[in-house]
Copies of this chain bind each other. A is one copy, B any other.
Amino acid sequence: METQAPRPFPMNAWYAAAWDYEVKRELLPRTICNKKIVFWRKSDGSVSALEDACWHRLLPLSLGTLKGDEVVCGYHGLVFDGHGRCTRMPSQETLNPSACVRSYPTVEKHRFVWVWPGDPALADPALVPDLHWNNDPEWAGDGKLIHAKCDYRLVIDNLMDLTHETFVHGSSIGNDAVAEAPFVSTHGDRMATISRWMIDIDAPPFWRGQLGKPDNVDRWQIIRFEAPATVAIDVGVAVTGTGAPEGDRSQGVNGYVLNTVTPETDTTCLYFWAFVRNYRIHDQTLTTQTREGVSSIFREDEYVLERQQQAMNEHPGRVFYNLNIDAGSMWARRLIDKMVAEETKPAATLRAAE
């Protein structure tokens, strides 16, 4: 499948392909950046990822079977190892030396299996986005995977501007304070941050319940984007006047909304998210409650984003106007565009542009 220029996502990046528990001793097909890939866990626990199309007749390998650590095509029985090399063909002893399918680098970190769809030579595990809260023993929580029918960048836009909470999530986490509060924007080479503090406000229903106190609160939302597709949001409330803006959060509750959004195709994405907290970390009921609560909230976003994608499909080439609130998404998109431009400039490695 060809993508239109300019490509909406860089290829030389780690993208979450699955939650760790999803990759088992069986064949899992996923599409990442328009590439169909079959994943499986080998007997040593590592994860193999191959192009999901047999070299011979294109049948998806994921329709075949796993035999030991190798995949057997479900049509004519060609066998491929985890590196994509064909190790057996029917009715012939000599294997065609060209018989191989593309393999992709993978790494497992922070409860996700990550895949690198671009040039394998550049796949440095140190570049995996920082979502360490997701398996840090000081934090607890859980998340889900949303298969959203929109460009992954619309999810990023949505996360970089939380004023939409007031209008999309008015019944749970939104109130007028979010849309009215000022924010500070900073950015670096791969990062962009939007910080918003709402001082001495009435807590919205969700946070009121987490805090368990009737006082007015200082509420914070510190949104940290890491290019190309990860957003970790430091959120919470503390009793107003107890010093949270200055760094003392002891009279409050703190969570992280962890998000990483993987382009599936140009107009669909795999949106992995988790909500973790550093209080009542052994309370599994609270973990389940908040996971399901956040899941309901994110369904509201999903509906809006899919309708926005449909509207964009009907208005091709439309340029968007930006408001003050769009500062965060503007920076995020600039950093994404820079990554794409770097890997598609004439001198860039050809393998990345495959």
Contacts and interface: CB of A to CB of B under 8 A. Distances in A.
A92 B92 CA distance: 72
Indicate the size class of the contact surface on chain A.
35 or more
A315 interface: yes
Count copies of this chain in the complex: 3
A320 B57 CA distance: 6
B75 A304 contact: yes
Nearest to A308: B59
Interface stretch (A39-47, A111-119, A321-329): A321-329
B77 A318 contact: no
Contacts of A314: 1, 36
Contacts of A315: 53, 58
Contact of A75 (B72, B90, B92, B168): B168
A339 interface: no
Given A75-B308, A164-B76, A90 B325 contact: yes
A76 B163 contact: yes
A164 B75 contact: yes
Interface string A341-354: 00000000000000
A90 B166 contact: yes
Nearest to A2: B316
Contact of A179 (B1, B91, B308, B321): B91
Contacts of A199: none
A282 interface: no
A183 B1 CA distance: 37
Contacts of A17: none
B311 A53 contact: yes
Contacts of A57: 157, 308, 320
A318 B74 contact: no
Interface in A21-64: 36, 53, 55-60, 63-64
Contacts of A320: 56-58
Contacts of A211: none
Contacts of A304: 59, 63, 74-75
A184 interface: no
A60 B163 CA distance: 18
Nearest to A89: B323
A98 B59 contact: no
A189 interface: no
Given A77-B179, A311-B58, A314-B1, A91 B324 contact: yes
A92 B324 CA distance: 7
A173 interface: no
5 contacts: A57-B308, A74-B167, A76-B163, A91-B163, A96-B323
Given A1-B314, A77-B179, 16 more contacts: A36-B314, A53-B311, A53-B315, A58-B315, A58-B318, A58-B320, A59-B304, A60-B311, A75-B304, A77-B163, A89-B323, A90-B167, A90-B179, A91-B183, A92-B325, A96-B323
